[in-house]
């Protein structure tokens, strides 16, 4: 079986290599049948990688310790879910999973209907080149099918810390996001290489952009269907948009799942520690956020083109950088990383991506000039630019803070680390400013200042927000930041609802309800964006609440004792012990009553993992909308006494709610359906908001 696995990898290597070649060279001298063979090779590569995954997965499930990988990360004591999850716990397995996911994404991208086949083929080739890179690492540096020296009877098992439901899905979700970010990158590069940076004209014959395609007999394939140009935007941005949003949502979910794991498993009461690994995957999420907005600016106003292209390249490069961080061994943080050459390969790959991208951007700078420049600071494209600057500055701080540790010995001769204070200090002003931009954006428009109507409502919303913030500050006498966040959140809600009503009125002046339905239906993309913004507002509630209002204390309790803490009555009911095949569990049973509510039971525990002979703490959380009651069992003192740490984390649930809301918004935003409209339809449906309002404003001005 192992040999078949190796063979699968080799075949995948060859197939993806050929597919990459035909895709990238498709414009130069590739015959149509060679291209077709390239497509088949792409399918073959997926099939081979699937075969390799199945073989390794089977070995993990039947605990075939002939495989070094299985012996290192699995044991007979694990349940089948965790045995299978070992697939993405180790170096080789996780790379194999990444390569497989990327190949699936590549194939999906290739078979979905497209409006620009030349661009699609080029991007397909670039994606396969990325797959090729991952497979060559698997073959030459991290072989998942390596045999063990002498088959052991038992494996080393899975680290107890990783045996948590969040860890079952967090790594594959993150790798899927990395794979998805490759698509906008490939499209941007394809667009740059083939100069597909302008709208595709309906009639391919008349354009001078495709001489080679015509020469190689591609005339039978329509290069751009009539009506696909969509309001003057470049095709690549339109194709990249759903992929970028999907990648954004998936990476965001990955980050939140990781945060949930840290919150429930690491047991220190928090969920985000600004660890190098967390920072690594947070960076592409930040630049990806900026990318999605830059794509919108390109689509609506033909500006921020260089920014959009650069961000697409940077985001994909940062995914590789994150991999470099986790696997290079340059950090000696909480995670003791292996020292392997693999990390450096990813760094090299990242350098190639960045240099190649930069060269192409410089060479295509003429085509990337903005076509229209707004003359008002409150035009949406300037708000996008402003938030991009904020996001990039924050990303730069995170990058610098992360790299201080490995780089300081080279500069200062001594190793230095910076603490979380650096990141939080920057996060607070940047986060507040971004929230403020998010809050006013529904009441602005592309290309010019808000219309008189919008401006009026904007002033009212700002007034309401300020009033709420001031009232909050005066009434509670608490943090200025908390009051600021409250005011901004009011502003977000108020301005979104007001914008919806304005839009509805415009569409149906007589019936508000029908107008709202029409606005939501026809402006689906835009309102999906506002749903995502609302999700981020919920996230802000959770982050601010849990950061500013957290309390903790250490208590010793004996059986039957009742204490009151943070508005709760807590009674230690009993101490229990359970024996499971792989671990022994000692747990304290606590009854928590808040106000007059029904009592809830929480069971903080300590687990002794037999194979590793290691204790882990299993925290117990009682979660409500006002906050989490988080309990840690530190130890049993004998005589029925236990030592506990109690933590109160207000508003924690809002973090998870915000994540869910953002994902929902993303799904609504990329749901297919509306895209099969004509260019005129697109314009009418989504861009007219501003222009129609604009017309109305003009008319008003005229009348005046």
Partner 1 sequence: MGMRTKLLLCGVVIATTIAYAVYLGASSSWQYYLQVDECLGQADLFRGKRLRLSGRVAAGSLKASPEHREANFVLEGNEHKLPVWYRGSIPDNLAEGRDVVVEGALAGDGHFQCETLITRCASKYAPKDASNAAEQAKESGTLE
Q: According to CB under 8 A, which residues from 127 to 156 bind partner 1? A: 148-150, 152-154, 156
Check if the beta carbon of residue 466 is closer than 8 Å to that of residue 439: no
Length of the chain: 704
* 344 lies in the site for partner 1, by CB under 8 A: no
Binding segment for partner 1 among 31-39, 65-73, 494-502, 517-525 (CB under 8 A)? 65-73
* Closest CB to partner 1 among residues 236, 427: 427
Least gap, CB of 279 to partner 1 (angstroms): 14
Check if the beta carbon of residue 192 is closer than 8 Å to that of residue 360: yes
Residue 646 belongs to what H/E stretch? strand 641-650
Check if the beta carbon of residue 589 is closer than 8 Å to that of residue 636: no
Residues of this chain, 226-285, that bind partner 1 according to CB under 8 A: none
The C-alpha atoms of residue 394 and residue 424 are separated, in whole angstroms, by: 10
Give the phi and the psi of residue 616 in degrees, each rounded to 5. Answer: -130, 155
- Select the residue interacting with partner 1 from 336, 410, 475, 704 (CB under 8 A): 336
The C-alpha atoms of residue 312 and residue 41 are separated, in whole angstroms, by: 26
Place of tokens 């999605």: 292
Binding segment for partner 1 among 219-227, 294-302, 371-379, 489-497 (CB under 8 A)? 371-379
Binding segment for partner 1 among 83-91, 191-199, 468-476, 672-680 (CB under 8 A)? 83-91
- The sign of the torsion formed by the CA atoms of 673, 186, 128, 116 equals positive
Residues of this chain, 169-208, that bind partner 1 according to CB under 8 A: none
Binding segment for partner 1 among 131-139, 209-217, 577-585, 634-642 (CB under 8 A)? 634-642
Residues of this chain, 397-426, that bind partner 1 according to CB under 8 A: 397, 401, 404-405, 414-426
Least gap, CB of 430 to partner 1 (angstroms): 7
Residue 553 belongs to what H/E stretch? strand 551-558
* Closest CB to partner 1 among residues 28, 336: 336
Binding segment for partner 1 among 36-44, 45-53, 334-342, 695-703 (CB under 8 A)? 334-342
The C-alpha atoms of residue 125 and residue 45 are separated, in whole angstroms, by: 13
The C-alpha atoms of residue 121 and residue 213 are separated, in whole angstroms, by: 12
* 334 lies in the site for partner 1, by CB under 8 A: yes
- Select the residue interacting with partner 1 from 94, 130, 163, 223 (CB under 8 A): 94
* 556 lies in the site for partner 1, by CB under 8 A: yes
Least gap, CB of 159 to partner 1 (angstroms): 6
Check if the beta carbon of residue 229 is closer than 8 Å to that of residue 201: yes
Check if the beta carbon of residue 147 is closer than 8 Å to that of residue 68: yes
Check if the beta carbon of residue 242 is closer than 8 Å to that of residue 670: yes
Least gap, CB of 280 to partner 1 (angstroms): 12
The C-alpha atoms of residue 97 and residue 86 are separated, in whole angstroms, by: 11
Least gap, CB of 90 to partner 1 (angstroms): 6
* 371 lies in the site for partner 1, by CB under 8 A: no
* 516 lies in the site for partner 1, by CB under 8 A: no
* 624 lies in the site for partner 1, by CB under 8 A: no
Least gap, CB of 658 to partner 1 (angstroms): 24
Number of residues binding to partner 1, judged by CB under 8 A: 75
* 79 lies in the site for partner 1, by CB under 8 A: no
- The sign of the torsion formed by the CA atoms of 70, 72, 77, 83 equals negative
Angle CA(634)–CA(277)–CA(546) in degrees, nearest 5? 55
* 554 lies in the site for partner 1, by CB under 8 A: yes
Least gap, CB of 513 to partner 1 (angstroms): 40
Residues of this chain, 592-611, that bind partner 1 according to CB under 8 A: 606, 611
The C-alpha atoms of residue 240 and residue 248 are separated, in whole angstroms, by: 12
* 372 lies in the site for partner 1, by CB under 8 A: no
Least gap, CB of 486 to partner 1 (angstroms): 22
* 393 lies in the site for partner 1, by CB under 8 A: yes
The C-alpha atoms of residue 118 and residue 646 are separated, in whole angstroms, by: 60
* 480 lies in the site for partner 1, by CB under 8 A: no
Residues of this chain, 640-699, that bind partner 1 according to CB under 8 A: 643, 645
* Closest CB to partner 1 among residues 389, 466: 389
- Select the residue interacting with partner 1 from 32, 211, 429, 567 (CB under 8 A): 429
What track of x and - describes contact with partner 1 for positions 433 through 462 (by CB under 8 A)? x-----------------------------
Q: What is residue 195's DSSP assignment? A: T
Least gap, CB of 536 to partner 1 (angstroms): 19
* 617 lies in the site for partner 1, by CB under 8 A: yes
* 613 lies in the site for partner 1, by CB under 8 A: yes
Least gap, CB of 148 to partner 1 (angstroms): 7
Cα-trace Rg, the chain: 28
Q: Mind giving me the DSSP string for 129-158?
A: HHHHHHHHHHHHT--TTPBPSS--SS----
* 90 lies in the site for partner 1, by CB under 8 A: yes
Give the phi and the psi of residue 637 in degrees, each rounded to 5. Answer: -100, 0
* Closest CB to partner 1 among residues 267, 472: 267
* Closest CB to partner 1 among residues 362, 373: 373
Three-state DSSP class for 642? strand
Cα 65 to the center of its chain, rounded Å: 35
* 159 lies in the site for partner 1, by CB under 8 A: yes
Check if the beta carbon of residue 125 is closer than 8 Å to that of residue 23: yes
- Select the residue interacting with partner 1 from 1, 54, 377, 480 (CB under 8 A): 377
The C-alpha atoms of residue 663 and residue 46 are separated, in whole angstroms, by: 28
Cα 700 to the center of its chain, rounded Å: 44
Which of 44, 198, 45, 196 shows the shortest CA–CA distance to 121? Answer: 196
């Amino acid at each position: 079986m192992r040999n078949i696995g190796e063979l699968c990898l080799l075949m995948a290597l060859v197939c993806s290599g050929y597919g990459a070649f035909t895709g990238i060279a498709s414009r130069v001298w590739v015959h149509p049948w060679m291209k077709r063979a390239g497509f088949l090779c792409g399918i073959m590569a997926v099939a081979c990688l699937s075969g390799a995954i199945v073989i390794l997965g089977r070995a993990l499930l039947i605990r075939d310790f002939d495989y070094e990988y299985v012996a290192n990360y699995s044991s007979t004591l694990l349940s089948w879910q965790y045995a299978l999850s070992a697939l993405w716990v180790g170096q080789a397995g996780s790379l194999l999973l990444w390569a497989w996911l990327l190949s699936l994404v590549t194939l999906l991208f290739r078979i979905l209907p497209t409006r620009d086949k030349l661009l699609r083929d080029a991007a397909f080739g670039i994606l396969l080149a990325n797959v090729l890179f991952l497979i060559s690492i698997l073959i030459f540096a991290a072989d998942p099918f390596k045999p063990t020296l002498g088959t052991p009877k038992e494996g080393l098992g899975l680290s107890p810390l990783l045996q948590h439901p969040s860890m079952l899905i967090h790594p594959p979700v993150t790798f899927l996001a990395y794979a998805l970010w490759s698509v906008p990158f490939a499209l941007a590069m394809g667009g740059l290489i083939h100069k597909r940076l302008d709208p595709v004209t309906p009639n391919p014959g008349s354009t001078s952009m495709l001489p080679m395609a015509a020469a190689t007999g591609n005339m039978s394939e329509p290069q751009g269907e009539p009506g696909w140009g969509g309001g003057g935007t470049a095709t690549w941005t339109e194709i990249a948009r759903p992929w970028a949003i999907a990648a954004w949502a998936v990476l965001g979910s990955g980050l939140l799942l990781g945060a949930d794991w840290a919150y429930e498993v690491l047991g220190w009461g928090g969920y985000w520690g600004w660890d190098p690994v967390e920072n690594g995957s947070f960076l592409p999420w930040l630049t990806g956020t900026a990318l999605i907005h830059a794509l919108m600016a390109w689509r609506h106003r033909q500006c921020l083109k260089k920014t959009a292209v650069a961000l697409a390249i940077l985001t994909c490069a940062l995914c590789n950088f994150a991999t470099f961080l986790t696997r290079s061994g340059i950090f000696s943080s909480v995670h003791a990383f292996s020292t392997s050459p693999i990390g450096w390969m990813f760094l090299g790959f990242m350098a190639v991506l960045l240099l190649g991208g930069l060269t192409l951007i410089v060479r295509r700078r003429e085509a990337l000039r903005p076509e229209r420049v707004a003359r008002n600071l409150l035009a949406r494209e300037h708000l996008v630019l402003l938030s991009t600057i904020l996001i990039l500055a924050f990303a730069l701080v995170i990058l610098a803070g992360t790299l201080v540790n490995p780089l300081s010995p080279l500069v200062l001769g001594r190793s230095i680390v910076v603490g979380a204070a650096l990141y939080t200090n920057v996060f607070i002003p940047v986060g507040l400013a971004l929230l403020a931009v998010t809050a006013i954006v529904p009441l602005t428009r592309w290309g010019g200042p808000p219309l008189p109507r919008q401006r009026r409502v904007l002033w009212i919303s700002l007034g309401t927000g300020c009033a709420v913030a001031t009232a909050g500050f005066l009434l509670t006498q608490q943090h200025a930041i908390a009051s600021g966040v409250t005011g901004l959140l009011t502003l977000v809600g108020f301005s979104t609802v007001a914008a919806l009503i304005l839009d509805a009125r415009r569409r149906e002046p007589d019936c508000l309800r029908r107008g709202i339905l029409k606005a939501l239906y026809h402006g689906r993309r835009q309102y999906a964006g506002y749903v995502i913004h609302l999700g981020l507002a919920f996230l802000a509630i959770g982050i601010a609440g849990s950061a500013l209002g957290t309390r903790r204390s250490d208590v010793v309790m004996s059986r039957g004792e009742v204490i009151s803490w943070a508005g709760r009555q807590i009674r230690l009911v009993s101490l229990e012990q359970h024996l499971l095949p792989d671990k022994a569990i000692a747990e304290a049973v606590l009854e928590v009553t808040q106000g007059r509510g029904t009592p809830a039971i929480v069971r903080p525990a300590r687990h002794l993992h037999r194979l590793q002979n290691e204790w882990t703490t299993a925290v117990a959380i009682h979660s409500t909308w006002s906050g989490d009651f988080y309990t840690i069992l530190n130890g049993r003192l004998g005589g029925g006494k236990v030592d506990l740490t109690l933590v109160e984390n207000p508003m924690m649930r809002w973090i998870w709610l915000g994540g869910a809301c953002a994902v929902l918004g993303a799904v609504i935003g990329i749901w297919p359906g509306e895209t099969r409209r004509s260019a005129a339809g697109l314009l009418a449906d989504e861009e007219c908001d501003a222009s129609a309002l604009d017309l109305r404003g003009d008319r008003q001005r005229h009348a005046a």
